[in-house]
Amino acid sequence: MENIFNLHQEELSEQGFTIVENIYTKDEVTQILKVIDNIDKSKATFRKSADLFAIRQFLKEVPATQSLIFNKNLTQLISQLFGQDFFVVKSIYFDKPETSNWYVPYHQDLTISVDKKVAIENFGPWTVKQNQFAVQPPIEILENIVTIRIHLDDTNENNGALRVIPKSHNQQIYRPEHIDWTKETETTCCVKQGGVMIMKPLILHSSSRTTNHQKRRVIHIEFSNIALPTALQWAEWMKVDVNQDIISTHK
């Protein structure tokens, strides 16, 4: 088992992503979706359109999912791949409907979510989405973040699976308009229901439109072990106790 974790850790470091299957059973996925289906979807942190339904600060807005998401498989994975000092700094639920034409071009995830806007050297530019502040931090903070994408549906090239450029996370800020397709290759990250994709946010990634009339529901959770400057706090903060399966939060 340790060798498997080592292989995933090496792949994440070298390629910028790795896929781990069977983190959740079909019944566990059903339980998570049942909780989501029963929530009040009218809150300000929820975004709903014909092409996308999204919940920002998902773990805080839908706390009943926390014990379901952080099962023993996931907490063991976090402990083995990241270490025991990493904590949640962002969580989003995405529902790409069966008829979605939502296309996302190649990009890197260059911002973090914070509690307020303050002038701090090397932090900027700033944006605001649904009353939530986001800022581009220094590169060492971005390089430290790791994202887990929990797949609640089978996801492939026909319903918006992520496409990535392997190893592009090693080039720090890599503008999409500068992609050299004579040197770069593209990989489609197909993940079965109950599996997870783990990625470095600096990897160039994109998502296509849905063509097979199948949903693509994903829970996106970002982790870090870096404290922000005193004047700032992460907009979300959740510590997962990988030994006792106890989740603690502040904010």
pLDDT digits (tens, 9 = 90+) for 166-177: 999 999 999 999
pTM of the model: 0.92
Alpha helix stretches (DSSP H) within the chain = 2-15, 26-37, 58-61, 66-69, 72-81, 139-144
CATH number at 190 reads: 2.60.120.620
Question: Helix, strand, coil proportions of the chain in percent (round to 5)?
Answer: 25, 30, 45
Q: What is the pLDDT of residue 245?
A: 47
Closest by Cα among 136, 133, 114 to 123? 136
Around Cβ 121, how many Cβ atoms within 10 Å? 7
> What pLDDT, in 10s, does the model give residues 98-136?
666 678 899 999 999 999 999 999 999 999 977 789 999
CA separation for the pair 112, 101 (Å, rounded): 26
Could you give phi then psi for residue 194, rounded to 5 degrees? Answer: 90, -5
Closest by Cα among 147, 139, 137, 125 to 171? 139
On the question of pLDDT at 248 being above 60, the answer is no
Which residue segment(s) compose the domain that 74 sits in? 2-249
Q: What is the pLDDT of residue 36?
A: 92
Please, are residues 249 and 63 in contact by the beta-carbon 8 Å criterion? no
What is the torsional sign of CA 233, 237, 242, 243?
Answer: positive
Classify each residue of 100-109 as buried b or exposed e, where b means 16 or more C-beta atoms within 10 Å of its C-beta.
bebeeebebb
CA separation for the pair 88, 220 (Å, rounded): 11
The token pair that represents 153 in the structure block: 């549906």
Closest by Cα among 228, 231, 162 to 199? 162
Please, are residues 168 and 202 in contact by the beta-carbon 8 Å criterion? yes
Q: What is the pLDDT of residue 251?
A: 43
Query: How many independent structural domains does the chain possess?
Result: 1
Whether the upstream peptide bond of residue 125 has omega within 30° of 0, thus cis, is yes
pLDDT level of residue 53 (50, 70, 90 thresholds): confident
